[in-house]
């Protein structure tokens, strides 16, 4: 089968940073679906793994954790899917990725794809949807339908996770949603997705909130550059507020949280599949819930850039855009 992977950790400008490969097709395990992949998207985790994780000796590493495709075969223990169904999912980080014609994935983290979306539009959603959903409801503890009188600040609102988090918060809670963005096009993107207001994160957050006529907030979802904004996030939170974050921080000193009794919540959407937690199937369930919201017209795809067919040259361009820090929404490729 065709696949895209790498043999060495190289800068994305190097022509061998991602390569077109021919690899054996995966054999599904008992709970696996074998999916013929039709579209993928690229996330910051793809670039981080490519730069920092070396393949096993003599092997290529295949990336990719967002996919839409058709079930080609099922394992002996599969209970919820049939051959021929169109599905979408974010795979496990400890298994080969989905940048390949055929991909094996545990059925518990899979859902039927939104019928109203194209393959490319649907591929934009799974990883960021799971991250945003878990961050909002499982980590920050906002109940569905709740949050009245509370404000959520989304730092990095125009990114992949922010783009779906804004929508979930508006559609499924009563929170007031303030996003951050620093460019006119990303500001408008956040407003179009439903943010009540947008402030500029190139300015100190606490003063930007005050300038906008907002006081301290109850909840912060910090999705990018948390290290840079950490002091201002603390200043922007009310006493007993909650901070959820997803990005990597080289140093994290939690002592400044103490005086306000602030709580800190990490979100990593790979945790459930990596440890096969008892509630692993929650990811398939939430993707099914969001697919229904999409088909009802309440949630829209966050696709913003299409880079053509799935091959190494196009994936290198997509990785370069992600690494530039100038992407908004999601970057997608479709078809081999």
**CATH number, domain containing residue 286:** 3.90.180.10
Q: Which domain holds residue 318?
A: 2-125+271-334
Looking at the structure, tell me whether residues 241 and 315 fall in a common domain.
no
Domain's final residue, options 266, 298, 319: 266
CB 42 within 8 Å of CB 333: yes
Relative orientation angle of helices 282-295 and 126-133, to the nearest 10 degrees: 110
Looking at the structure, tell me whether residues 204 and 311 fall in a common domain.
no
Query: CB burial class (10 A; 0-12, 13-18, 19+) of residue 93?
Result: middle
Residues in a beta bridge with 64: none
Looking at the structure, tell me whether residues 241 and 156 fall in a common domain.
yes
pLDDT in tens, 208-238: 999 999 999 999 999 999 999 999 999 999 9
pLDDT in tens, 102-154: 999 999 999 999 999 999 999 999 999 999 999 999 999 999 999 999 999 99
Looking at the structure, tell me whether residues 13 and 99 fall in a common domain.
yes
Domain's final residue, options 212, 235, 266: 266
Distance CA 196, CA 47 (A): 32
Looking at the structure, tell me whether residues 9 and 85 fall in a common domain.
yes
Distance CA 208, CA 210 (A): 5
Tally the domains of the chain.
Answer: 2
Q: Give whole-number Cα distances, 96 to 85, 186, 234, 308, in Å.
A: 22, 33, 38, 22
Burial 150-183 (b: 16+ CB within 10 A, else e): bbbbbbbbbbbbbbbbbbbbbebbebbbbbbbee
Looking at the structure, tell me whether residues 256 and 282 fall in a common domain.
no
Domain's final residue, options 220, 250, 266: 266
pLDDT in tens, 54-98: 998 889 999 999 999 999 999 999 999 999 999 999 999 999 999
Looking at the structure, tell me whether residues 120 and 134 fall in a common domain.
no
């Amino acid at each position: 089968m065709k696949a895209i992977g790498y043999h060495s950790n190289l800068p994305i400008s190097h022509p061998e940073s991602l390569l077109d490969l021919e690899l054996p097709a995966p054999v599904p395990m008992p709970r696996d679906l074998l999916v013929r992949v039709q579209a993928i998207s690229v996330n910051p985790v793809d670039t981080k793994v490519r730069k920092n994780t070396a393949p096993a000796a003599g092997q290529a590493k295949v990336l990719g954790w967002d996919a839409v495709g058709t079930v080609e075969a099922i394992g002996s223990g599969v209970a919820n899917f049939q051959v021929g169904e169109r599905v979408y999912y974010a795979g496990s980080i400890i298994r080969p990725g989905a940048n390949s014609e055929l991909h094996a994935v545990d059925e518990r983290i899979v859902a039927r794809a939104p019928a109203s979306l194209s393959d490319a539009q649907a591929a934009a959603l799974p990883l960021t949807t799971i991250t945003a959903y878990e961050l909002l409801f499982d980590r920050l503890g906002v109940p569905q339908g709740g949050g009245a009188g509370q404000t959520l600040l989304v730092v990095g609102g125009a990114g992949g996770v922010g783009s779906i988090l804004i929508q979930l918060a508006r559609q499924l809670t009563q929170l007031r949603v303030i996003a951050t963005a620093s460019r006119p096009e990303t500001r408008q993107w956040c407003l179009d997705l439903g943010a009540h207001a947008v402030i500029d994160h190139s300015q100190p957050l606490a003063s930007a909130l005050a300038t906008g006529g907002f006081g301290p907030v109850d909840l912060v979802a910090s999705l990018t550059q948390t290290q840079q904004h950490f002091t201002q996030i603390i200043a922007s939170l009310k006493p007993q507020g909650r901070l959820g974050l997803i990005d990597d921080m080289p140093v994290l000193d939690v002592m400044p949280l103490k005086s306000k009794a602030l709580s800190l919540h990490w979100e990593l959407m790979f945790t459930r599949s990596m440890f096969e937690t008892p509630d692993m199937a929650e990811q398939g369930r939430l993707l099914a819930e969001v697919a229904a919201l999409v088909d009802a017209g309440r949630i829209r795809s966050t696709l913003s850039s299409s880079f053509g067919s799935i091959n190494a040259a196009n994936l290198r361009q997509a990785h370069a855009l992600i690494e530039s820090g100038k992407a908004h929404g999601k970057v997608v490729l479709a078809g081999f």
